[in-house]
Chain A
Amino acid sequence: MNRRITNLFSRVLLHVVIIFIAFAWLMPTLGLLVSSIRNRNDVLSSGWWTVFRHLLDFEQYTLENYTEVITASGMGRAFLNSLIVTIPSTIIVIIIAAFAAYAFARMEFRGRHVLFVVVVGLLVVPIQMTLIPILRIYNGLGLAGTFYGIWLAHTAYGLPFAIFLLRNFFGALPKDIFESAFLDGASHHTAFFRLALPLSVPALASLAIFQFLWVWNDLLVALIYLGGTEKVSPLTLRLSSLVNSLGQNWQLLTAAAFISMILPLVLFFSLQRYFVRGILAGSIKG
């Protein structure tokens, strides 16, 4: 009897602790969302949680903050820039990495092992080591401040991980199917396009999500190679300068932040499975 009560007690405690942690983790983001649809005066005079006292009073909500940051603060343009930066940076990496990964996994050539060890080593190199020389070259070639420059840079920074992930995936595909394909006279090109790629769709999807989020959420690379002009600034760069210029205008700042998060959140909720799978596959690297 006594034991049953302790058992029940610890069950209840477990749920309480878990729900508390979940709430604590969700609270900051919820506060951002709520604040972004409140009036300036309300945001500055009372905490965002006070809306729950009269939740259904729709008078207190507004979308004006969003219209203002999208037009006046340039978040609309920045959203477009983020898409322009991110989509090519994702596609180019995957194409180049897939070819290289196939060669590393399935073809034989001198230096294959050494070269791949170099790729594994490059996985953890801080990009700070590359900023000054590349920026100088970019300045010389007129690539600084252009989308071409940042596409190339993001491709390079994403490559080691992409090659690593895909090479491990290609390497883990059953050997027999490749052998029987080669016996039937298939070339490496056929094996790559007809076997390796179609069988690796889940891995390619994980990689695409990773690279997309990485580039979309990046600040440093954009800061260095694109610079702060509004014409080319992606969301992160624009948002970080708004943090300084908008100061205590929290209703606008929260709306701007939410705009920068909306696409990653949609991707996250719809493709969480691939995201998790990618993390698990990539984590072998440490």
Chain B
Amino acid sequence: MVREKIVMKRSNIWPWIYIAPALLILAFFLVYPIINTFYLSFLDKGSESFIGLSNYIFAFTKKPMLIAFRNNLLWLIVFTVFTVSLGLILAVLFDRVRYESVVKSIIFLPMAISFVGAGVIWKFVYTYRPAGTPQIGFLNAVLSKFPNFEPIGWLVNKLTNNFALIFVGIWIWVGFCMVILSAAYKGIPKELLEAARIDGANELQVFRRIIIPMMKPTIAVVATTMVINVLKVFDIVYVMTNGQFDTEVIANRMYKEMFQFHNFGRASAIAVILLLVIIPVMIINVRRFREQEALR
């Protein structure tokens, strides 16, 4: 009887009708293009003849590409470290005040704004006027209050521009990290923290010895999400500097190869490299998903 029921369910066509539209779209728009892009990355500019690994050799040896890799690495480290740690600190601090929901909304607000909009907002903040004229950019105006400060062209100066762009990313994403980490923080039993305090632990010890270890799984999830975001970063750079003054990142380089130079081989190779960097994250995700399923 039970066996019969299972057999009957298996031969049923309805599950396939339910998932068919989704599968068709995913196959056509994601799976096929991924395979095709792999193939194109071994062909020349116009995808006409096979040129082996030339596109990859280009990608790993030419200066503009190396600058893009360096910048992505800089983004990866600075952006990930700051969003996650600031998100964690804010989640813990805000938990202690009564106006928590208001300040949380303020930090979270940039998440609703497009990267293009944020780009305009911050381009204005970073605006630079020669010394002696009134500064209309907020950052230079504030710093001009200090004696001997020379206004800085934040987006032009090669020492500051990458950090200026990365900070825009941080401004947008800290709210996301804070929301998730805050939910996890509120899940820690308060008696545990109280017990530690009664035993004489100071706040820093409570934070380092209890809060961080207990939140490790969530911190890992948030950090991987940030890593994926940072590898795909495109809009902020496109709007604010368009990759000038050594600010290019991988995704922008790919766009330029595709639309400015019409070199589809190189553009494909860059996309493949991007995917290869993300694959470890993909494996981690699938593994984590399997573990969660096993627990159900």
Tally of A interface residues using CB under 8 Å: 97
With an 8 A cutoff between CB atoms, is A213 at the interface?
Answer: yes
Quick one: which of B107, B220, B258 contacts A22, CB cutoff 8 A? B107
Instruction: Report yes or no: B30 in contact with A239, Cβ–Cβ below 8 A.
Output: no
CB distance from B228 to the nearest CB of A (A): 5
A interface residues, Cβ below 8 angstroms from B: 14-15, 17-19, 21-22, 25-29, 31-32, 35, 43-49, 96-97, 99-100, 102-104, 107-110, 112, 115, 117-134, 152-153, 155-157, 159-160, 163, 171, 188-189, 213, 216-220, 223, 235-236, 239-240, 243, 250, 253-254, 256-257, 260-261, 264-265, 267-269, 272, 275-276, 279-280, 283-286
Instruction: Report yes or no: A28 in contact with B121, Cβ–Cβ below 8 A.
Output: yes
* CA–CA, A272 and B138, complex, Å: 29
Of all chain A residues, the one with the shortest Cβ separation from B136 is A47
* CA–CA, A48 and B141, complex, Å: 11
CB distance from B293 to the nearest CB of A (A): 8
Supposing A128-B232, A283-B180 touch, asked if A48 and B238 sit within 8 A by C-beta, the answer is: no
Quick one: which of A103, A132, A236, A240 contacts B264, CB cutoff 8 A? A132
Interface readout for B117-157 with A: 1 if CB under 8 Å, 0 if not? 10111111101000000111110010000000000000000
Supposing A128-B251, A239-B117 touch, asked if A96 and B25 sit within 8 A by C-beta, the answer is: yes
16 A-B pairs whose Cβ atoms sit less than 8 Å apart in the complex: A21-B90, A22-B107, A27-B125, A46-B134, A100-B23, A108-B9, A120-B289, A124-B228, A131-B33, A132-B271, A156-B25, A217-B113, A220-B255, A239-B116, A250-B127, A257-B117
* CA–CA, A99 and B94, complex, Å: 40
Instruction: Report yes or no: B120 in contact with A243, Cβ–Cβ below 8 A.
Output: yes
Of all chain A residues, the one with the shortest Cβ separation from B90 is A21
Instruction: Report yes or no: A267 in contact with B271, Cβ–Cβ below 8 A.
Output: no
Give the 8 A-B CB pairs with smallest separation, nearest first: A156-B29, A217-B114, A100-B22, A268-B112, A103-B18, A130-B33, A109-B15, A133-B33
> B267 — which chain A residues lie within 8 A by C-beta?
132
B interface residues, Cβ below 8 angstroms from A: 6, 9-10, 12, 14-16, 18-19, 21-23, 25-26, 28-34, 36-37, 40, 90, 93-94, 96-97, 102-103, 105-117, 119-125, 127, 134-138, 141, 171, 176, 179-180, 183, 220-222, 224-225, 228, 231-232, 234-235, 238-239, 251, 254-255, 258, 264, 267-268, 270-272, 274-275, 278, 281-282, 284-286, 288-290, 292, 296
Supposing A103-B19, A260-B117 touch, asked if A125 and B122 sit within 8 A by C-beta, the answer is: no
Instruction: Report yes or no: A129 in contact with B15, Cβ–Cβ below 8 A.
Output: no
Instruction: Report yes or no: B15 in contact with A108, Cβ–Cβ below 8 A.
Output: yes
Instruction: Report yes or no: A131 in contact with B258, Cβ–Cβ below 8 A.
Output: yes
Of all chain A residues, the one with the shortest Cβ separation from B283 is A121
Given pairs A25-B110, A254-B124, 11 additional interface contacts (CB within 8 A): A14-B97, A21-B107, A47-B138, A126-B231, A126-B275, A132-B264, A132-B271, A236-B117, A261-B113, A283-B180, A286-B220
* CA–CA, A131 and B40, complex, Å: 12
Instruction: Report yes or no: A243 in contact with B119, Cβ–Cβ below 8 A.
Output: yes
